[in-house]
Amino acid sequence: MSDVRILGTGAYLPDRVVSNDEAGAVAGVDDAWITGKTAIRERRWAADHQATSDLAAAAARAALESAGITADQLAVIVVATSTPDRPQPPTAVYVQQHLGAVGAAAFDVNAVCSGVVFALSAAEGVLARSGGHALVIGADLYSRILNRADRKTVVLFGDGAGALVLGPAREGSRVRHVALHSFGESSGLIEVPAGGSRLPLDQDALEAGLQYFAMDGRAVRRFVVDHLPQLAKQFLHEAGVVPDDISHFVPHQANGVMLDAVFPELALSRATMHWTLTQYANTGAASVPITLDAAARAGAFRPGDLILVAGFGGGMAAGFALIEW
């Protein structure tokens, strides 16, 4: 990647805290069951009046303040989301309006839970050609697409947004390498079946519940266990570092029990794995930037630390970034 650096981070979580007992009530599961299966203890769900762009804009404001720049300095806004405000136009244009970022190009990226890494790569490509500053946002509002009776999914997800500001600078956190992967042959493992051109959202689809998020949990776990360690090791080799060089691991916050099982396979013996899922659950494309922001604001990162970021999820897809703090 070119010498574009992360100048600031930000996050936003809705005010409403939803306990495991509340989230699992309709599905017939309780706090003990959910915690034992996922390590999640609570999550945030958005208010009725909030849309994905509202969460995204709030996170963006925090990131802009952290970076010390204003919205009118932005050349591009990229929003990673799989829960857009509307099928069209892109959610990013609503964020542009909220921020008053006149003149910024604005578009969405949908790589589900890997989306923010894909968005990071896209924004860097724009800046490499045009210069200026970019706002990269991961934002999802999964509470609107969950089947409250499906215990396999309703307990896993929360709402939130995280943001990064990129720009040319001598100081700041350098994105040293990025790699993106897609596995379309496994696209059926995670999906919202209806609402697109393949299957319009008509009355039959609504009655069948096809407007809701659906996931084959066991197959997704197998995918992560089978692919993530191999892809991560390949990525580090391509980036010219070894696992012992990594000080921090910031993964997509999918499921704490699954991450605990996979982490030893990565051989990151000197790395700290960062979690926010216990209090925020899986926030989709927002989970990586939320966790990065939380760790940064807690002072966990020191200058020169290498951070391995790993996004993975629907598509199926995986995205990795190596950040030098």
Q: Which residues are annotated as catalytic?
A: 113, 252, 282
Written as one letter, the residue type at 91 is T
- Cα separations (Å) of 281 from 13, 140, 216, 254, 271? 11, 12, 18, 8, 22
CA separation for the pair 230, 180 (Å, rounded) = 14
Contact between 169 and 13 under an 8 Å Cβ cutoff? The reply is no
Closest CA to 42 of 157, 138, 162, 141: 157
Give the torsion sign (CA, 21, 24, 82, 186): positive
Residue ranges in the chain assigned as alpha helix (H): 20-24, 31-38, 52-67, 91-99, 115-130, 203-207, 217-239, 256-262, 277-280, 287-297
CA separation for the pair 45, 259 (Å, rounded) = 23
Residue ranges in 158-309 assigned as alpha helix (H): 203-207, 217-239, 256-262, 277-280, 287-297
CA separation for the pair 320, 189 (Å, rounded) = 21
CA separation for the pair 110, 185 (Å, rounded) = 17
